[in-house]
Amino acid sequence: MGFSADVSTFIKNTKLRADLVLRKIAFDALLGVLLKSPVDTGRFRASWRVGINRVDLTVEPDLVRMEDTSAQGPAGPTASQQSTINKAKFGDTISITNNVEYAEFLENGASDQAPQGVLKVTFEEIKDQLRRIVNSI
């Protein structure tokens, strides 16, 4: 009985760690794309969406150009985005998308602020840091 309990505990702890690793990677990826997003009106940065086992196709409405930083969009994940990521479990698919009509142009280098794109750069960084991420959990 002690062995079975140890195995059950190991499986439970491993699953919890796998869930945490998935969430950590998703959070880091979202933060990366937000921080790398070029900003003109802030609409692109504000239109990053997170979905679990689905793709969120919504976008922010046009934002009024403003001089203050609120027009730049969120500098980090919103409470809603964090909540969505925190619901993910190992085996889920987490989609991070941006559906503004010019997102593909920005990803392909149309902005001097992000000439290498946003997603490509972020996911290469995540891939390079995966071992560090796993070890930190």
pLDDT score of 66 more than 50: no
Interior angle at CA 134, CA 73 and CA 16, nearest 5: 90
Better-scored residue on pLDDT, 6 or 73: 73
Residue 67 has pLDDT above 70, yes or no: no
Distance CA 101, CA 82 (A): 25
**Candidate from 44-48, 62-66, 98-102 with smallest mean pLDDT:** 62-66
- In angstroms, the CA 37 to CA 72 distance is 10
Confidence tier at 4 by pLDDT (50, 70, 90): low
Domain boundaries, the chain: 2-136
Closest alpha carbon to 62 in 34, 39, 42, 81: 42
Greater pLDDT, 87 or 7: 87
